[in-house]
């Protein structure tokens, strides 16, 4: 998947769940072209394409095939119970005289079971305007992602770069009502940096991302009436039925602008180096329903995200490397709903259309995250031999929803601690690597629950949807995981590797809001084979 | 090169600088607003606010409804959250068993405004006949008829003091009363007029919304009592029984409707109508007992234009909750027993002696509860030659 998309989604999810194990997401993935670079390239977490010029490993390639499975019931209401993924990935880095390039291709084939309450694909996870049905169904998603970036050295002091990424996906299931969702995300990035002094480098980057998604429901058996839920947030929804619209169609369009300013301090000969990255993004996702038949506004979601991150690394000798990363993020999302009235134009063939009566800001979400991580690496031949990291994350989410009953407010604040340790062993001609991680997420103050649903009887989805979403996002949990990897040379500069990893999240709360979570967990396992060349 | 870089840098700075403004440019004011709506009511001709009781306003937004009791005034101010509303007003006209006032309207409430609702008079009964079985299960056997009464409203209804009567009906021309211009009072008493115990307005015998009661002439298993080969029903589980004591009618259960008027003591069963008849369910004004009504000589009448001394109990149309005219299917033409507001047209009788009933159509079933068609036109509202299913809740809608 597009790396930026991953970052966006991870950021949003991290804010909701505060469950990231470490900032060094790629360093443990030895098949990844950035595995070592993430450790040594202090600009690695910038999206400025000029970061490629600072990689320690500038030419490498990777090919990977893996299979992963997700099982368990501790999941959000819109997620399936049972997911299988086949991943095929090809990527690499190449250094030319003045140019560094990177690129990747990624194909993922996903099959899932028992999914309901969300038929969208690659929508911002905080966007409340989800189109859904309540029929559990099995389905399939195919995802293809590709990306490339380039850094050009104009002269020893100035570099420029650009990059582009595309992710396309297609979701379908064959149970009435049948969603068919096609989504694409495309981004272009430009950036530059300039060495102001021998120690200071200033970088600047900008990105625009375009999002487009088409969701189309069809019905094969018209004798059964199905409900379409036009979600508005916190369980509040506008209802349509297959009785009035046999099929239902929605288009999402979105644009995100992101800017990044980075300042790197790296005095020559000093054991210290530091980078401060300030990023800001703003964007929107707008839903329009009806296809070519009519236009019904399904809701506008506007979001902003600000992040400040400081990465400090120092090494007094070639055997030890220390990292301290501290960061703060603030995200906000505003959701506007349109009250609309259906009218018929009797002068033009009785065409139905909707007139907007009012635009109302019905939901506001605020996420604040503060992180601090220390990582220690003991090195052998500039490769990690042993490492350990401790990440602490404090995350607060406030969700305000406005409906006919007034203001409904959810709030939770979680502290999470994650410990990661890893060791590399020489085993015959090959290398065996193992990592273990453990984490604990706990509320630091009382959670505040509310529901946005203001209907009664079977229309009230508080018990099946709202409580589950809230409990999933805010509950106490334990995270345990580990991986094992063995790779060995098969030719000159070519290594073949095998790996497997498991991560499990165990629900540890008292199921106060959603009783079905009691004694549940969610486990993800992956195994695969890769070639580094 | 340096110039190019500085230009690029300037452009990037501008983009980065735009971000906060883009993010803050949207209207940040959240919340759903509320507005004051003045609901003005206009009453139909001949009806004033004082003659209406239980006036209610139901506001509906999407699937959410709210009920407000209105003072019997012509204007009411309410506060509503913004949205698209439909309004429904209903009330009961005090001195008529089935007359109501209703009005509907809609408004897009995005500002303070007035809504005018013009009330109209309609006739609709909360209690109606669900099924009538009077055509017999075998020739010569007369005690197996039954009447099923259902609460077709959304409120609890009470059976206290309800009158069950069977005018002669089965007409091919105007009867003597109609011919004499008496069209809004119905002659009752060809045999007996019976009533549930209690006083009209009492609350001793509730009937929940959607629930029904079976009133049997005799609450017995008639398939065993009648001759072999009969099509008679088992009514041993009936809720009520009609007790005509002076004709030697045996008693099978304790809950009985009593005879309040009798013109022919040799008639051993209530409402015999093997080839057709007319039936009435009536409710007297609150506080009045059926017995005292029947004892009032002002409510009795002989046949106009006749020397016959046989008296009939006259029940005015305004007391009628439900009327069902069952017409002889052999007649080439039929004449309505009732005013159109009570029953515009009769349903043809089921085949005699075949053990079939006339049953009211089911229009919808919601959460297991059936709703029945009631347009005051039995030819539309009822189906004839239906299987006997006393007390059984329907599971299918009639197309």
CA A51 vs. chain centroid, Å, equals: 21
B83 sits in the region (left: phi over 0; alpha: psi -120 to 50; else beta) called: left
Tokens of B266: 């040799």
Mean of the pLDDT values across residues B302-317? 92
| Cβ pair B9:A160 closer than 8 A | no
A236 near A454, Cβ under 8 Å? yes
A398 close to A474: Cβ distance less than 8 angstroms: no
Closest residue in A to B33 (Cα) is A404
pLDDT of B197-242, one tens digit each?
999 999 999 999 999 999 999 999 999 999 889 999 999 999 999 9
Distance from CA of A209 to the nearest CA of B (A): 13
- Whole-angstrom Cα distance, residue A3 to residue A9? 10
> In this complex, do B63 and A407 lie within 8 Å of one another by their Cβ atoms?
no
Q: What per-residue confidence (pLDDT) applies to A31? A: 61
Phi-psi region of A459 (alpha: psi -120 to 50; beta: other; left: phi over 0): alpha
Q: pTM of the prediction?
A: 0.75
pLDDT over 60 at B26, yes or no? no
Q: Is residue B12 over pLDDT 70?
A: no
pLDDT more than 90, % of chain A: 81
Evaluate if residue A16 carries a pLDDT over 60.
no
Tokens 């009453």 sit at which residue? B43
CA-wise closest residue to A389 among A320, A437, A450, A455: A437
Residues of A in contact with B25 (CB under 8 A): none
Using CA atoms, how far residue A517 sits from A399, A443, A472, A478, B151, in Å, is 22, 17, 8, 14, 44
Chain A residue numbers with beta carbons less than 8 Å from the beta carbon of B1 are: 154-155, 158
Alpha helices, H only, A369-495: 467-474
Residue A5 has pLDDT above 60, yes or no: no
Confidence band of A24 (pLDDT split at 50, 70, 90): confident
Residues sharing a CB contact under 8 Å with residue A463, sequence separation 6 or more, in sequence order: none
Euclidean distance between the first and the last CA atom of chain B, given in angstroms as a whole number: 82
DSSP string, B282-325: E-PPTT--HHHHHH-GGGEEE-TT-----EEEEEEGGGEEEEEE
Nearest to B268 by CA among B243, B290, B234, B237: B243
Query: Rounded distance, CA A92 to CA A105, Å?
Result: 10
- A493 CB-near residues (< 8 Å, 6+ apart): A533
Cis peptide before A177 (omega within 30 of 0): yes
Asked if residue A523 lies in contact with residue A501, where contact means CB atoms within 8 angstroms, the answer is: no
- Over pLDDT 70: what percentage of chain A? 95
Residue B64, chain A, CB below 8 Å: the answer is yes
DSSP one-letter string for A266-307: --TT-SEEEEEEEEEEEEEEEEEESTTT--EEEEEEEEEEEE
Chain B residue closest in CA terms to A280 = B19
How confident is the model at residue B6, as a pLDDT?
A: 52
Q: Is B66 an 8 Å CB contact of chain A? A: no
Average of per-residue pLDDT across B329-340: 87
In whole angstroms, what is the distance from residue B66 CA to residue B261 CA? Answer: 45
Residue A6 pLDDT more than 60? no
Query: CA angle B144-B294-B153, nearest 5°?
Result: 65
B5 contacts in A (CB within 8 Å)?
154, 158, 160, 192, 194
Average pLDDT over residues B66-88: 86
Mean pLDDT of the region A99-123: 96
Supply the ipTM of this predicted assembly. Answer: 0.73
Sign of the alpha-carbon torsion through B267, B273, B277, B280: positive
> Nearest-5° angle of CA A88, CA A23, CA A147?
35
Cβ contacts of B149 within 8 Å, gap of 6 or more: B127, B128, B129, B130, B159, B162, B207, B212, B213, B215, B281
Per DSSP, which regions of A290-382 are E strands?
A: 296-317, 320-345, 351-380
CB spacing of B12 vs A205 below 8 angstroms: yes
Model confidence band, residue B50 (pLDDT cutoffs 50, 70, 90): confident
Chain A contacts of B110, Cβ < 8 Å? 339, 357-358
For B15, which of A259, A336, A455 is closest by C-beta distance?
Answer: A259
Instruction: Outline where chain B has alpha helix (H).
Output: 2-24, 176-179, 222-225, 290-295, 340-343, 378-381
pLDDT of B24 over the 60 cut? no
Task: For residue B53, name the pLDDT band (cuts at 50, 70, 90).
Answer: confident
| Mean pLDDT value across residues A363-375 | 96
Question: DSSP E strands: which ranges in A444-520?
Answer: 477-491, 494-507
Position B247 pLDDT exceeds 70: no
Nearest to B166 by CA among B326, B33, B43: B326
If you average pLDDT over residues B52-64, what whole number do you get? 86
For residue A154, give the nearest of B5, B19, B27 by CB distance.
B5
Q: What is the pLDDT of residues A421-430, one digit of tens each?
A: 999 999 999 9
Residue B368, chain A, CB below 8 Å: the answer is no
B19 — contact with chain A (CB < 8 Å)?
yes
| Interface touch B19/A281, C-beta < 8 Å | yes
The dihedral through the CA atoms of B17, B22, B23, B27 has a sign that is positive
Considering only CB atoms, B16 lies closest to which of A206, A239, A302, namely A206
Q: Residue A3: pLDDT band by 50, 70, 90 thresholds?
A: very low
pLDDT at B382: 95
Give the tokens for residue A236.
């509040």
Which tokens hold the place of B333? 């033409």
Phi-psi region of A39 (alpha: psi -120 to 50; beta: other; left: phi over 0): alpha
* Residue B22, helix vs strand vs coil: helix
Q: Determine the distance in angstroms separating the CA of A397 from the nearest CA of chain B, rounded to an integer.
A: 18
- The Cα B152–Cα B376 span in angstroms is 13
β-strand partners of A237: A231
Cβ-Cβ contacts under 8 Å between A and B: the total is 106
């Amino acid at each position: 998947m597009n790396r930026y998309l991953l970052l966006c989604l991870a950021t949003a999810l991290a804010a909701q769940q505060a469950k990231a194990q470490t900032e060094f997401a790629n360093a443990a993935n030895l098949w990844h072209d950035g595995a070592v670079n993430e450790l040594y390239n202090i600009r690695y977490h910038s999206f400025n394409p000029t970061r490629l010029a600072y990689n320690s490993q500038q030419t490498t390639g990777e090919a990977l095939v893996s299979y992963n499975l997700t099982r368990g019931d501790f999941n959000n209401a819109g997620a399936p119970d049972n997911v299988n993924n086949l991943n095929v990935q090809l990527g690499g880095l190449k250094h030319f005289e003045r140019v560094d390039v990177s690129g990747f291709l990624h194909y993922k084939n996903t099959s899932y079971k028992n999914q309901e309450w969300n038929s969208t694909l690659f929508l911002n996870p905080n966007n409340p305007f989800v189109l859904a049905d309540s029929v559990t169904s099995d389905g399939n998603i195919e995802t293809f992602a590709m990306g490339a970036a380039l850094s050009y050295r104009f002269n020893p002091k100035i570099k420029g770069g650009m990059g582009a990424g595309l992710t396309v996906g297609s979701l379908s299931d064959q149970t009435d009502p049948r969603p068919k969702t096609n989504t694409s995300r495309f981004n272009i990035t430009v950036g530059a940096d300039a060495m102001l002094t021998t120690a200071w480098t200033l970088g600047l980057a900008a990105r625009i991302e375009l999002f487009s998604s088409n969701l189309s429901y069809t019905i094969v058996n018209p004798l059964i009436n199905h409900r379409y839920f036009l979600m508005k947030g916190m369980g509040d929804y506008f209802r349509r039925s297959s009785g009035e619209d046999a099929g239902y169609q929605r288009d999402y369009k979105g644009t995100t602008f992101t800017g990044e300013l980075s300042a790197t301090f790296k005095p020559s000969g000093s054991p210290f180096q530091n980078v401060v990255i300030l990023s800001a993004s703003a964007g929107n996702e707008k839903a329009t329903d009806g296809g070519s038949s009519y236009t019904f506004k399904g809701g506008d979601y506007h979001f902003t995200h600000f992040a400040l991150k400081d990465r400090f690394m120092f090494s007094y000798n070639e055997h030890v490397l220390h990292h301290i990363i501290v960061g703060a993020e603030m995200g906000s999302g505003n959701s506007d709903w349109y009250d609309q009235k259906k009218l018929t134009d009797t002068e033009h063939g009785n065409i139905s259309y909707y007139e907007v009566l009012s635009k109302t800001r019905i939901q506001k979400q605020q996420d604040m995250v503060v992180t601090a991580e220390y990582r220690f690496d003991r090195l052998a031949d500039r490769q990690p031999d042993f490492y350990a990291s401790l990440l602490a994350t404090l995350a607060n989410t406030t969700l305000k929803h406005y409906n006919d009953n007034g203001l409904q407010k959810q709030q939770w604040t979680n502290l999470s601690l994650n410990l990661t340790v890893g060791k590399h062993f020489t085993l015959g001609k090959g290398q065996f690597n193992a990592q273990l991680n453990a984490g604990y997420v706990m509320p630091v103050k009382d959670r505040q629950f509310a529901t946005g649903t203001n209907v009664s009887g079977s229309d009230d989805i508080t018990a099946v949807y709202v409580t589950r979403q809230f409990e999933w996002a805010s509950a106490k949990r334990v995270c345990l995981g580990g991986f094992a990897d063995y790779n060995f040379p098969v030719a000159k500069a070519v290594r073949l590797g095998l790996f497997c990893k498991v991560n499990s999240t165990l629900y540890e709360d008292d199921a106060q809001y959603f009783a079905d979570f009691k004694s549940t967990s969610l486990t993800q396992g992956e195994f695969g084979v890769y070639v580094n060349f | 090169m340096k110039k190019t870089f500085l230009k690029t840098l300037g452009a990037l700075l501008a983009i980065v600088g735009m971000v906060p403004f883009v993010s803050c440019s949207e209207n940040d004011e959240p919340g759903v607003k509320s507005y004051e709506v003045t609901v003005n009511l206009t009453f139909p001709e001949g009806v004033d606010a004082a003659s209406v009781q239980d006036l209610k306003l139901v506001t509906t937004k999407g699937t959410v409804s709210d009920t407000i009791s209105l003072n019997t005034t012509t204007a009411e101010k309410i506060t509503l959250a913004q949205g698209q509303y439909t309004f429904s007003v209903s009330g009961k006209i005090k001195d008529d068993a089935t007359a109501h006032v209703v009005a509907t309207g809609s408004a897009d409430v995005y500002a303070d405004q007035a809504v005018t609702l013009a009330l109209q008079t309609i006739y609709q009964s909360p209690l109606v006949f669900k099924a009538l079985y009077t055509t017999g299960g075998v020739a010569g056997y007369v005690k197996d008829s039954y009447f099923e009464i259902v609460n077709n409203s959304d409120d609890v209804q009470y059976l206290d003091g309800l009158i069950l009567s069977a005018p002669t009906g089965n007409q091919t021309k105007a009867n003597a009363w109609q011919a004499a211009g008496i069209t809004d009072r119905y002659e009752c008493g060809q045999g007996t007029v019976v009533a549930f115990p209690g006083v009209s307005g009492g609350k001793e015998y509730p009937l929940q919304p959607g629930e029904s009661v079976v009133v049997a002439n005799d609450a017995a298993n008639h398939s065993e009592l009648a001759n072999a080969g009969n099509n008679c029903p088992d009514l041993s589980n009936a809720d009520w029984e009609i007790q005509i004591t002076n004709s030697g009618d045996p008693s099978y259960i304790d809950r009985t409707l009593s005879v309040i008027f009798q013109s022919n003591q040799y008639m051993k069963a209530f409402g015999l109508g093997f080839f057709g008849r007319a039936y009435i369910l009536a409710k007297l004004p609150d506080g009045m007992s059926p017995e005292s009504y029947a004892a009032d000589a002002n409510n009795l009448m002989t046949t106009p234009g006749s020397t016959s001394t046989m008296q009939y109990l006259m029940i005015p149309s305004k007391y009628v909750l439900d009327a069902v005219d069952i017409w002889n299917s052999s007649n080439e033409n039929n004449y309505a027993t009732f005013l159109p507001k009570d029953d515009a047209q009769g349903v043809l009788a089921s085949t005699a002696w075949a053990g079939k009933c006339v049953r009211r159509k089911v229009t919808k079933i919601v959460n297991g509860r059936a709703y029945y068609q009631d347009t005051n036109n039995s030819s539309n509202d009822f189906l004839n030659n239906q299987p006997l299913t006393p007390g059984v809740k329907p599971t299918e809608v009639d197309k």
